[in-house]
Amino acid sequence: MSKPKPKTPAVVAELTPLCEALSEELGLLSKTVSATQTKMRKVLSDARAGIETRTERINALEEKIRALIDGNRSAFKKPKTRTLGGIRVGLRRKTGKVVYDCDDDTMVARIRDAFGRSAGPYLETKSVPVKDALRNLPEEERKKLGVQIVDDTDEVQVKPAESDARKLAAALLDGGTP
More confident residue, 8 or 146: 146
Rounded to the nearest 5°, which phi and psi values hold at 98? -90, 125
96 contacts 155 by C-beta, under 8 angstroms: no
- Rg from Cα positions in the chain: 33
90 contacts 82 by C-beta, under 8 angstroms: yes
Give domain limits for the chain. 97-152
Residues 60-101 pLDDT 10s? 999 999 999 999 999 988 899 998 888 899 998 888 899 999
Q: Does residue 163 register a pLDDT over 60?
A: no
What's the whole-model pTM score?
A: 0.51
Residues 9-20 pLDDT 10s? 887 888 888 888
Mean pLDDT score, 38-48: 89
Closest by CA to 105, choosing from 124, 121, 129, 125, is: 129
Cβ atoms < 10 Å from Cβ of 98: 21
